[in-house]
Chain A
Amino acid sequence: MFPDLGRHADTVLFSYAATLLILAVLAGSYALRNARIRRALATAEARRGAKNG
């Protein structure tokens, strides 16, 4: 099932691997930053709420 890439196998596989790695790092960093800021905002809003009674 795996296609025969011939003498260009390294080139093609490295292209796909590099692309998927960059996309994974990008998506992971966006998701992590989103979760971190979301948590920090929830904590700050709870703190402000407690302060205001």
Chain B
Amino acid sequence: MRLSARLLPWFGGITVLALCGGLGWGFFLTPDADLFGATVKIIYVHVPSAFLAVNIYFMMFVTSLIWLIRRHHVSALAAKAAAPIGAAMTLIALITGALWGQPMWGTWWVWDPRLTSFLIMFVFYLGYIALWAAIDEPDKAADLTSILALVGSVFALLSRYAVNFWSQGLHQGASLSLDRQQNVANVYWVPLVLTMIGFFALFLWLLLIGTRSEIRARRLRAIEMQEAR
């Protein structure tokens, strides 16, 4: 708790700086793209949210696995705290993707492998949150939600690699890659990386706040149970 309290202002500061810098730069200072026109500016909100949507699910997969194997309570609570952030990121990716798709593909939605796997992942996020809310006993809730997270990780994996698996989809390949083979043009690259940092710092910031809340809520529940005896 002490370490997380020390990290919180740092993540908050990085979030504000990187998001304001990246979104401001991307929106006000980058030119329109030849092919996409001004809609290219949507990548600054779509790509980071889609990146986080998939990777938060992977984080939940790992922490759920830790809970199931090691029974480490903080890992289960971290997964619980991460789920609403992941759901929000998936929703942003779906909305901004649909908004971009309408002028570019001529449709808001298409049953493309990546879009479909994202929609299923969103349903898994909602199911995970609902399952935590539906079960009173915390350890039982952690067990069942962890199993759900493991099952849903298949769709997170599909969301990430659907473009590579199925070539018939409309969705293009990754906008950023570590090998810099598939990256967007240099003029869009820096603000995009900045917004990625901002979104990631926001995730860490909210994750710390959420996990601390869950730990406190568990302590509160223990006190209330003692008082009830």
Contact = CB atoms under 8 A, between A and B. Distances in A.
A binds B: yes
Interface of A: 1-9, 11-12, 14-16, 18-19, 22-23, 25-27, 29-31, 33-34, 37-38, 40-41, 44-45, 47-48
A6 B37 contact: yes
Interface of B: 23, 27-28, 32, 37-39, 41-42, 45-46, 49, 84-85, 88, 91-92, 95-96, 99-100, 102-103, 202, 206, 209-210, 212-213, 216-217, 219-220, 223-224, 226-227
Interface of B is mostly: helix
Contact of A44 (B42, B45, B92, B224): B224
A19 B23 CA distance: 11
Contacts of A16: 23, 27, 41, 45
B212 A11 contact: no
A15 B206 contact: no
A7 B84 CA distance: 34
Contacts of B103: 8, 11
Contacts of B219: 41
A23 B202 contact: yes
Given A3-B28, A6-B32, A8-B39, A37 B217 contact: yes
Nearest to B84: A26
Nearest to A51: B227
Contacts of B100: 11, 15
Given A15-B96, A18-B95, A27 B206 contact: yes
15 contacts: A3-B41, A8-B37, A11-B100, A15-B41, A15-B95, A15-B99, A16-B27, A18-B95, A19-B45, A26-B88, A33-B213, A34-B210, A37-B213, A44-B223, A48-B226
Given A41-B219, A48-B223, A26 B206 contact: yes
